[in-house]
Structure 1
Amino acid sequence: MMVNTYLVFNGNCKDAFQFYENALGGKILFMMTHGESPMADKTAPEWKDKIMHATLQTPGGLVMGSDNPQGRATKPAGFSVSVTVKDAAEGERIFKALSDGGQAHMAYQKTFWSPGFGMCVDKFDVPWMVNTEAPAQA
């Protein structure tokens, strides 16, 4: 089984996925606008350039998303997208990239469970936790 994150945006999915591609070191595998879809003739003109579906491959899984054609995407609440890395320097790089233009809620720092952990909300209002795995103990 694989559990993936699906994010919904109010018209800025393309910008968000380009941002995440850089921040997470991933690659956009698929991105289709409403205007490129088989339903293009039924799409309102102002939504033809909005994203119907996008898939980003990251080193650890997939992030998928779209723009909500009804413009009803709500501000995320009750969850965070969690990224776990093996190296504290890579965790710090990802945290800095994700929090750029957003807000850090807990600075990336050493904790009792991790060599590096931080929480932020990115400039697209998506909450993130970046955690570095603790070294294996013998």
Structure 2
Amino acid sequence: MSLNPYLTFDGNCGEAFDFYKSVFGGDFMMRSTFAEGPPDMGVGDEFKDRIMHVSLPIGGNVLMGSDTAGDSSGPYVQGTNISISHAPDSKADADEKFAKLAGGGMEIMPMQDVFWGSYFGMCVDRFGVRWMLNLDTGNAS
């Protein structure tokens, strides 16, 4: 089981992660822009060069992040721009944990198969903590 911090930025995610890489060393596991996502994501052209996802291993953890992409990703609020990412063991485990975390809170994106080959969902728990559940299913499209 892993819990990893997920940071959200408003256009300077690449710069921030280049800085973190210079501090902690290592290589990015993944770094992609919104332009690399599917066209039906609804991301405006002005956001295509922003970071859709980046991950940098640091010790036994992974620091992850992305930029906002206008209305399709919700507003950026500095100070609340961190989520906890959890890798569940199975779809059943993901569904159970998601239901518990979202209960009394707010569902942002229901658990679903996504284009990067994962079963993924986002919610905010009743304490205002943002969660991302990401089960790698290996079914990238």
Q: TM-score, normalised on structure 1?
A: 0.50
Query: 1:41: Cα distance to partner?
Result: 7.7
Query: 2-side partners of 1:14 and 1:65: how far apart?
Result: 9
Structure 2 counterpart of 1:14: 14
> What amino acid maps onto 2:65 in structure 1?
G
> What amino acid maps onto 1:27 in structure 2?
D
Structure 1 counterpart of 2:75: 72
Q: CA RMSD in A?
A: 2.1
Structure 1: gaps of 5 or more residues: 80-138
Call closer, same or farther: CA 1:20–1:41 in 2, change over 3 Å: same
Query: 1:57: Cα distance to partner?
Result: 1.1
Answer whether contact 1:47 1:69 (CA < 8 A) is retained: yes
Structure 2: gaps of 5 or more residues: 83-141
Structure 2 counterpart of 1:59: 59
Structure 2 counterpart of 1:3: 3
Q: Which has the larger radius of gyration?
A: 1
Q: Percent identity?
A: 38
Q: TM-score, normalised on structure 2?
A: 0.49
Aligned residues: 78
Question: Do structure 1's residue 25 and structure 2's residue 25 form an aligned pair?
Answer: yes
Query: 1:40: Cα distance to partner?
Result: 7.0
